[in-house]
């Protein structure tokens, strides 16, 4: 990280005006560590873009985002086999919202990573009540990180991963200032690297070859084409923390803007790219630094980074 750009008040994606986050965690000792993380814009639809660094995943709603350059629902993150039920319940929630009484089509946006090492993924325990609770609890305040929501059962480079978030403030030459916020659901393999220093997986653990979902939000006026460029930088930032981008990894970024009043000139985007990569790198690391050692079915365990390296 450059540590040059300032963070927002909460150092979270919720520092972007008009973005809220809600989470629900489902735990049952020896069986479940799973949940939902909801990124909820105050206004919909808004400009959006997707970049797939490696497309081995289930990102529901991606083709309509690519075609129309916008999202029309909140973005929900969850476990792999729960993604389809969560999408169905998101549709139910949308149909119930005021002003949607005549809605006959909607494109739910749901991403996932596989939490099957630490949770009974085949049971698919997430129900409508969990989806509605995640959406209804969304706030613009601090965001709980680590083993929570969609990150309850995920891993990162052989350590316990989870949900991480961060933000950066960008000041352009013309005096305008914008916020870049990132939220990540980490579940990927590699050799974890912090400020250039590798942290090898302990001998009593095993590396994870999973996926990563990243959401980047901003209040800068960016159109869908420009947001696609931002989304690419978000996936590029995974390399800073040692991601392996393995064959079985679904590495996706969704970038959204809360404004629809035109777009900045492309020449002004470089500071936004820098802020995106810094915020994403920080979010990825925060997911592991805030995580706790977690036990799953059949005696499986994923140790946290702080437990393995207490002097970090």
Sorted by where each begins, the domain ranges of the chain are: 13-305
CA distance 87 to 107: 9
CATH number of 13-305: 3.60.70.12
Closest CA to 43 of 72, 69, 66, 67: 72
For 18-70, write each residue's pLDDT tens digit: 999 999 999 999 999 999 999 999 999 999 999 999 999 999 999 999 999 99
Rounded to whole angstroms, the Cα distance separating 75 from 94 reads 12
Residues 241 and 194 sit within 8 Å (Cβ to Cβ)? yes
List beta partners, residue 25.
35
User: What pLDDT is stored for residue 204 in this prediction?
Assistant: 61
Burial (0-12, 13-18, 19+ Cβ within 10 Å), 185: buried
Q: What are the C-alpha distances in Å from 220 to residues 13, 52, 143, 175, 180?
A: 14, 22, 22, 13, 8
For the cut 90, the answer to whether the pLDDT of residue 262 exceeds it is no
**What's the mean per-residue pLDDT of the chain?**
95
Grade residue 92 by pLDDT with cuts at 50, 70 and 90. Answer: very high
- 174 pLDDT band (50/70/90 cuts)? confident
Q: What is the mean pLDDT of residues 270-274?
A: 97
pLDDT attached to residue 207: 56
Tokens of residue 114, six digits = 């596989």
Pairing type for strands 163-171 and 177-187 reads antiparallel
Rg of the chain over Cα atoms, rounded to whole angstroms, equals 18
Torsions phi, psi for 265 (to 5 deg) = -65, 145
**pLDDT over 50 at 1, yes or no:** no
Question: Tens digit of pLDDT for each residue in 134-165?
Answer: 999 999 999 999 999 999 999 999 999 999 99
| Residue 2: predicted pLDDT | 46
Count CB atoms within 10 A of the CB of residue 307.
Answer: 13
Q: How far apart are the first and last CA of the chain?
A: 16
pLDDT digits (tens, 9 = 90+) for 207-236: 556 899 999 999 999 999 999 999 999 999
Read off the tokens for 256.
């959204």
The one-character DSSP state at 84 is: H
Of 72-76, 170-174, 185-189, the poorest mean pLDDT is in: 170-174
- Shortest CA distance to 1 belongs to which of 194, 192, 167, 161? 194
Helix, strand, coil in percent for the chain, rounding step 5: 30, 30, 40
pLDDT digit string, tens, across residues 127-140: 999 999 999 999 99
Q: Which helix (H) or strand (E) holds 52?
A: strand 46-55
Q: What is the pLDDT of residue 201?
A: 87
- 14 pLDDT above the threshold of 50: yes
pTM of model > 0.95: yes
């Amino acid at each position: 990280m450059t540590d040059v750009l300032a963070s927002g008040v909460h150092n979270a994606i919720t520092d972007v005006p008009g973005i809220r986050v809600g989470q629900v965690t489902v735990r049952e000792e020896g069986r479940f560590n799973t949940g939902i993380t909801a990124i909820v814009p105050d206004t919909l639809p808004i400009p959006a873009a997707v970049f797939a660094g490696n497309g081995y995943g289930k990102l529901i709603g991606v083709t309509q985002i690519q075609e129309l350059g916008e999202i029309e629902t909140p973005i929900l993150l969850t476990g792999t086999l729960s993604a389809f039920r969560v999408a169905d319940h998101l549709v139910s929630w949308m149909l119930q919202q005021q002003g949607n009484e005549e809605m006959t089509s909607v494109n739910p946006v749901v991403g996932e990573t596989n939490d099957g090492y630490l949770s009974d993924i085949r049971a698919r325990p997430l129900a409508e009540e969990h989806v509605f609770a995640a959406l209804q609890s969304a706030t613009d305040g601090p965001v709980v990180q680590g083993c929570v929501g969609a990150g309850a059962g995920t891993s990162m480079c052989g350590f316990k991963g989870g949900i991480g978030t961060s933000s950066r403030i960008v000041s352009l030459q013309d005096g305008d200032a914008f916020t870049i916020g990132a939220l990540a659901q980490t579940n990927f393999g590699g050799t974890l690297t912090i400020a250039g220093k590798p942290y090898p997986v302990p001998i009593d653990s095993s590396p994870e070859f999973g996926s990563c979902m990243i959401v980047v939000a901003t209040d800068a006026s960016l159109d869908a084409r420009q947001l696609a460029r931002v989304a690419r930088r978000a996936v590029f930032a995974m390399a800073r923390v040692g991601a392996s981008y393995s064959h079985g990894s679904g590495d996706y970024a969704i970038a959204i803007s809360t404004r629809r009043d035109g777009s900045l000139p492309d020449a002004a985007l470089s500071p936004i790219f820098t802020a995106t990569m810094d915020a994403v790198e920080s979010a990825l690391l925060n997911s592991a630094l805030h995580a706790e050692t977690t036990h799953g079915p059949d005696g499986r365990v994923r140790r946290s980074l702080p437990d393995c390296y207490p002097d970090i």
